[in-house]
Amino acid sequence: MNDDTNPPNGADLLYGMPAIAAHLGLKVPQARHLADKGTIPTFKVCKLTCARRSTLNAWLEKLEKEAACGKRP
């Protein structure tokens, strides 16, 4: 059984802003804006923006913990 925290062989990689936006529940322009600002953890493969599901999930968990502690990112 696979879940989002332990995806099979390469399924952890999100290729392109549409995939990243869908994973985060955002519209593509919103995700692109956050990536351009360096807010969300992305990287380039050639000219294609990519991200790992596991890295995005860890980033979201960090934001949740900081919010619960009253810290601002």
Residue with tokens 């919103």: 30
Whether residue 5 lies inside any domain: the answer is no
Whether residue 46 lies inside any domain: the answer is yes
Cβ distance 14 to 51 under 8 Å?
yes
Q: Beta strand pairing status for 43-45 and 13-15?
A: unpaired
Q: What percent of the chain has pLDDT over 90?
A: 74
Residue with tokens 């960090």: 62
Report which of residues 45 and 4 the model is more confident about: 45
Query: Domain containing 27: what range?
Result: 13-68
d(CA 38, CA 34): 6
pLDDT tens digits for 11-38? 899 999 999 999 999 999 999 999 999 9
Which among 62, 39, 38, 41 is positioned nearest to 50, based on CA atoms?
41
* Domain count across the chain: 1
